[in-house]
Structure 1
Amino acid sequence: MVTGIEPAWANKLIINAQAETVREKATFKQAFAKQRCIIPCSSWFEWQQQSETNKQKFQFSAIDDEPLFMAGIYYQAKQQSQSLVVTLTTTPTAQCEAYHRRMPLLLQAKNIEYWLFGDAEQVSLLLESTMADEFKIVPN
């Protein structure tokens, strides 16, 4: 698994897709319909600008230290042995907004099978939710 895609028209690697538009954008539409995945993790990181020359990294994890499940879409690489993964992002919770303007779309464990195998139209309901409102945030 490799993070990101690099379409011919793009001038940089695309590692995230906005959940709000993933169904409509040509780059993501087909993958959303047929190639959804889960990216399990224990945490994710965001950088916050502290001053003009200084950034601070923060680690976000579940309050109960349970695994997090990021929603993603994937593409088959030209070398068939690997997949290229794009993480879906959403509007941040009030707590996360203080650190970044987006956050990963996190799914509840009970919704994983539905996300992976459900009909794209029905799965669209999951694009508007996140698994928790509060996270453990630690400077790193």
Structure 2
Amino acid sequence: MCGRYVMAMDIEDLAAEYEVDYFPEDRRLPASWNIPPTTDVPILLERLIDGALTRQLHIAHWGLVPRWAKDQGVGIRAFNARSETAAEKPTFREALTARRCAVPAEGYFEWLKGTGTAKQPFYVRPTTTRTLTFAGLYEWWRDLSKEPDAPDAWLLSTTILTMPAPAPDHEDPVLAELGRLHDRLPIALGREALKAWLNPREKNGAGLLEMIRAQGHREASGWTLNRADPAVGNVRNNSPELLQESGNLF
């Protein structure tokens, strides 16, 4: 799964990294080394404008709120979406067809169960690139208690797609470590897969989902795992020191 991650890049740098055509210059998110669900995060999406694909960077609430929801509280339970069932689940199936996005991250945290109740956090990051690019979905939700033109009448929200982790005895040492760390894995996109996933002309969301699942473990084989500061468990702690590297997983 992905329940906490890092994004400390400035929005201009992020826009340049992903060759974005539009981003909200008046929106600034603070650098964060401990992003939890239900907070605002950057997402990438593409729209057809005058027949041309336009890549955009937006700020979204992390926790998907479908258009039919009575209130936005449903997003608390929808910050991740299981790729095996996303095409059938009412919360995700419409977005899979028409509202796919990507969630950029510099890395994410996962906790390894220890003896008793103790858990050791690990920081998972890319080895050769600056960012990870997670496959996501997005939705627009209208708050009917507000006037349509009110600045907070519409909520843009997102979720990160996950898949089963590799087997703990996988022949690739990185994938084996990921499999021992947790039984779920966020789906990361390579650059070509990103283009296909974001393309709004493509309506076969289920087919795209199968494609990105097929390459998800290959993308993950290029990651690095390091022990993180246990203080990351408290969302009030937020500094680069949380990423301290003090040895590999096993």
Question: Above 0.5 in TM-score?
Answer: yes
Alpha-carbon separation, structure 1, partners of 2:184 and 2:224: 17
Matched, 1:113 2:195: yes
Unpaired runs of at least 5, structure 2: 1-59, 143-151, 167-175, 229-250
C-alpha distance 71-59 of structure 1, shift in aligned 2 (>3 A): same
Q: Is the 8 A contact 2:138 2:157 kept in 1?
A: yes
Aligned twin of 1:4: 63
1:15 aligns with 2:74: no
Deviation at 1:48, TM superposition (A): 1.4
Matched residues, percent identical?
A: 24
Q: How well do the aligned residues superpose, as a CA RMSD in angstroms?
A: 2.3
- Match of residue 138, structure 2, among 74, 86, 91: 74
How far off its partner does 1:81 sit? 5.0
| C-alpha contact 2:109 2:123 (8 A) present in aligned 1 | yes
Quick check: 1:20–1:127 contact (8 Å CA) kept in 2? no
Provide closer, same or farther for how the CA distance between residues 109 and 11 of structure 1 changes in structure 2, counting only shifts above 3 A.
closer
TM-score (norm 2): 0.51
- Contact kept, 8 Å, 1:42 with 1:65, in 2: the verdict is no
Q: Distance in 2 between matches of 1:116 and 1:11?
A: 22
C-alpha contact (below 8 Å) 2:135/2:160 kept by paired residues:
yes
Structure 2 CA distance for partners of 1:111 and 1:5, relative to 1, 3 Å = closer
Counterpart Cα distance in 1 of 2:106 and 2:116: 30
Counterparts of 2:76 and 2:134, CA distance in 1: 22
Partner Cα distance (2:157, 2:75) in 1: 17
SS state of the match for residue 24, structure 1? coil
Q: Equivalents in 2 of 1:53, 1:136: separation in Å?
A: 25
Q: Distance in 1 between matches of 2:180 and 2:118?
A: 17
Sort the Cα spacing of 1:32 and 1:14 in 2 relative to 1 into closer, same or farther, 3 A: same
Q: Aligned ranges for residues 122-133 of structure 1 at < 5 Å?
A: 122-124=207-209, 125-130=211-216, 131-133=219-221
Structure 2: distance between partners of 1:11 and 1:67: 25
1:85 — aligned with what? Answer: 158
Deviation sequence 1:44-64 (CA, Å, 0-9, x none): 110111121311111101122
What's the offset of the Cα at 1:74?
A: 0.9
Aligned-partner Cα distance in 1 for 2:75–2:86: 19
RCO higher in 1 or 2 (8 Å CA, sep ≥ 6)? 1
Residues matched between the structures, number: 140
Amino acid at match of 1:135: W
In the alignment, structure 1 segments of 5+ residues that lack a partner are none
